[in-house]
Amino acid sequence: MAGQLVQHYLDESLAPDNKVVCCNGQKSITYGQLKKESNRLSVLLGEVGVRRSDRVLLFIRRSTDFLTGILGVLKADAVYVPIDPKSPSERWQHIVSDCRPSALLCDAQAANSLGDFFKNQIPIIHFGPDKVEPFIVVGVKPPIKGLSSDFERKPRYNNNSDDVAYILYTSGSTGKPKGVMISHRNIRNYIDWAVEYFSIQEEDRILGTAPFHFDMSTFDLWCPLKAGGTLCLASEAQMLFPEKLIQHMEDQKVTIWKGISSLLFYLERAGVLHPSRIPLLDRVLFGGDSLPARTLIRWMEVFPDKKFFNVYGPTEATGISFCYLVRKAPDSPGARIPIGRPCKGMKAVLLDPQQEPVPPGEVGELCLAGPGLGAGYLNDSERTLHSFFKAQFNGEPTDTWYRTGDLAFQDNEGNYVFMGREDNQVKIMGYRIELGEIEQAILAIEGVRDAVVVSVHRDGLDELVAFVEESKSLNLPQMLSRLRDRLPSYMIPRRLLKIDEIPRCVRGKINRPALRTIAMESSNVDG
**Three-class HEC string of 85-99:** CCCCHHHHHHHHHHH
Cα–Cα distance for residue pair 329/316, rounded to 1 Å: 31
Coil vs helix vs strand at 458: strand
Q: Residue 516 in contact with residue 462, Cβ under 8 Å?
A: no
Query: Would you call the peptide bond into 142 cis, given omega within 30 degrees of 0 as the criterion?
Result: yes
Contact 202, 18 (CB under 8 A): yes
**Burial of residue 382 (number of CB atoms within 10 Å: 0-12, 13-18, 19+):** exposed
365 in Cβ contact with 351 (< 8 Å)? yes
Q: What is the structure's pLDDT at 175?
A: 66
Q: For the chain, where do the domains classified as CATH 2.30.38.10 start and end?
A: 339-421
Per-residue H/E/C for 9-50: HHHCCCCCCCEEEEECCCCCEEHHHHHHHHHHHHHHHHHCCC
Q: To 5 degrees, how large is the angle CA 69–CA 70–CA 72?
A: 65
Q: Which stretches of 379-490 are DSSP H helices?
A: 381-387, 435-443, 476-486
Please give the CATH number for the structural domain made up of 425-521: 3.30.300.30
From residue 517, alpha-carbon distances to 259, 457, 499 in Å are: 31, 11, 13
Up-side HSE of residue 500: CA atoms within 13 Å toward CB? Answer: 0
pLDDT at 524: 42
Q: Do residues 126 and 107 lie in contact, with contact meaning Cβ atoms separated by under 8 Å?
A: yes
Q: What CA–CA distance (Å, rounded) separates 479 from 475?
A: 6
Q: What is the pLDDT of residue 135?
A: 82
Contacts of 11 (CB under 8 A, 6+ apart): 35
Closest listed residue to residue 81, CA positions, set 12, 142, 165: 165
| Neighbour tally for 226: CB within 10 Å | 21
According to CATH, where is 3.30.300.30 located in the chain? 425-521
Taking a C-beta distance cutoff of 8 angstroms, is the pair 46, 102 a contact?
A: no
104 contacts 95 by C-beta, under 8 angstroms: no
Question: Which CATH class, in words, describes the domain spanning 8-233?
Answer: alpha beta
Max Cα-Cα span within the chain: 73
List the one residue out of 522, 442, 523, 520 whose CA is nearest residue 487: 442
Q: Which helix (H) or strand (E) holds 295?
A: helix 293-302
**If you write DSSP's letter for every residue of 177-196 in order, what string do you get?**
-EEEEEEHHHHHHHHHHHHH
Angle at which helix 89-99 crosses helix 476-486, to 10 degrees, equals 30
Distance CA 173, CA 433 (A): 9
pLDDT in 10s for each residue of the chain, 527 residues: 446 999 999 999 888 999 999 987 677 899 999 999 999 999 999 989 999 999 999 998 888 899 999 999 999 999 999 998 888 888 888 899 999 999 999 987 777 777 667 766 889 898 877 665 678 887 766 555 555 444 566 788 999 999 999 999 987 666 678 999 999 999 999 999 999 999 999 999 999 999 999 899 999 999 999 999 999 999 888 988 999 999 999 999 999 999 989 899 889 989 999 999 999 999 999 998 888 888 999 999 999 999 999 999 999 999 999 999 999 999 888 788 999 999 989 999 999 999 999 999 999 999 999 999 999 999 999 999 999 999 999 888 899 999 999 999 999 999 999 988 777 778 888 887 888 888 888 888 888 888 899 999 887 788 999 999 876 777 888 888 889 888 988 899 999 999 988 887 755 567 888 998 998 887 544 43
Rounded distance between C-alpha atoms, residue 431 and residue 436, angstroms = 15
Q: What pLDDT is stored for residue 339 in this prediction?
A: 97
User: What local confidence, expressed as pLDDT, does residue 131 receive?
Assistant: 60
Q: Report the Cα–Cα distance between both ends of the chain, in Å, rounded.
A: 55
pTM of the model: 0.86
Is cis: bond before 224, omega within 30 of 0? Answer: no
Residue 60: name the closest of 41, 46, 75, 47 by CA: 41
For 395, residues 6+ apart whose C-beta sits below 8 A from its C-beta are none
Q: How many residues does the chain have?
A: 527
Radius of gyration in angstroms for the set of CA atoms belonging to the chain, rounded to a whole number: 23
CATH architecture, domain defined by 339-421:
Roll (2.30)
